Amino acid sequence: MSFGKMNLIIEIKDSILTKDSDGFSNKEESLILRTRGYKEERHGSRKWANMAAFTKANATFQLRKIPNVTVAPGMMIHCDEGAYKILSVEVLRGLYLELAAEKVEKTKA
């Protein structure tokens, strides 16, 4: 993966439940990582045919692996194109992370 392809700014966030002084729980997002990445949408390629187990995944993100930073399923990816929930994390050649993700649509209130 060349640096020229990684032109999308992404933020990976994790949700943390905190309690206030009255005992009510609040959901807060903490920023885990802000970096450049590459995004590929789901289409009929051989790669997506091999990922048939992840039928919910509709995008993959590739980014450089950062030492001492853990990215796990359940975390959220935020970028200009929307919010995505990470379904799986795979390490490629020890240098890159490939994240299979599902787009999160906001519900109308």
Cα dist from 54 to 17, 71, 79, 105, whole Å = 28, 18, 21, 18
Where helices occur in the chain by DSSP H, the ranges are 46-50
Q: Is residue 9 very low, low, confident or very high in pLDDT (cuts 50, 70, 90)?
A: very high
Mean pLDDT of 4-8: 79
Could you tell me if residue 95 is inside a domain?
Answer: yes
pLDDT for position 27? 85
Q: Is residue 21 in a domain?
A: no
Coil, strand or helix: which one is 100?
strand
For 25-84, the pLDDT digits (tens) are 888 889 999 999 998 887 655 665 565 555 677 888 999 999 999 999 999 999 988 899
Q: Say if 2 falls within a structural domain.
A: no
**Residue 76: inside a domain, yes or no?**
yes
Domain with 55, as residue range(s), is: 8-16+26-104
Backbone φ and ψ for 4, nearest 5 degrees, come out as -65, -30
pLDDT at 109: 61
Is 33 domain-assigned? Answer: yes
pLDDT score for 57? 79
* Total number of domains constituting the chain: 1
Is 3 a member of any domain? no
Residues 74 and 80: their CA atoms lie apart, in Å, by 20
Other CB atoms within a 10 A radius of the CB of residue 48 amount to: 17
